Copies of this chain bind each other. A is one copy, B any other.
Amino acid sequence: MSTLAQNKADLERASTAQKVADMLRERVLDGELAPGLRLSEEAIGGALGVSRNTLREAFRLLTRDRLLVHEHSRGVFVRRPSGADVRDLYAARRVIECGSLRLWNDVTEAQREAVRAPVRQAVARAEKNDWTRAGQANIQFHRGIVGLASSSRLSDESDRLFAELMLAFRVAAEINDFYQTYVPWNRRIVELLNNGEVAQAVDQLSEYFDAAEQDLVARLEAY
């Protein structure tokens, strides 16, 4: 059964535009294509061996995810989040994640475990100074929180918010010490949840957002 689902996923993996978009998404997220960079249709299309029209379709897909911005007759650029963007981003996360977390007592055990497990991982990885993977686990933690709401639309939008935030980290440089500060925070949130103190966990999460937003905005606006 599970193999069937696997095959289906493979089959649907068609569309050159989609594949090109996936490739570019990776390059953008790991910083190979820096924020602010202009993506020339001719240059990239030539390098990847796809036609301009197909490439433009790929650009549209990434524009939808807010990784690229399109300026008319000027081309597409890798998004470069501003301080205002970050504030907007955290305002959205505050509502979505705090609201989702409040549902803690109404969801399945599997959903709750999807919040706890990433924190255990993050702690373990942090102890090994593996900050890159600790950061990934941190994102899984927040994905787990949004998952409590049981809405794929909300989860998808959150993924876009996370990706955009990654870009902001990139601009602000130093991703590592960023996560370093907040891993223990997440741990405390899970502890509160396990003790049934949901409201307090929500407060903690909210404070986490306050601190993270302030920190990131400050770095961004310092140029």
Contacts and interface: CB of A to CB of B under 8 A. Distances in A.
Interface of A: 12, 14-15, 53, 56-57, 60-61, 64, 66, 72-73, 88-89, 91-92, 94-96, 98-100, 103, 149-154, 157, 161
**Count of chain copies:** 2
Interface centre among A53, A72, A92 (most CB of B within 10 A): A92
Given A61-B60, A64-B64, A161-B153, A99 B95 contact: yes
Contact of A153 (B60, B89, B103, B150): B89
B95 A149 contact: yes
Nearest to A65: B64
A154 B91 contact: yes
Contact of A14 (B64, B66, B72, B161): B72
A158 to B, nearest CB: 10
A88 B57 contact: no
A24 to B, nearest CB: 15
B96 A95 contact: yes
Nearest to A53: B53
Contacts of A73: 14
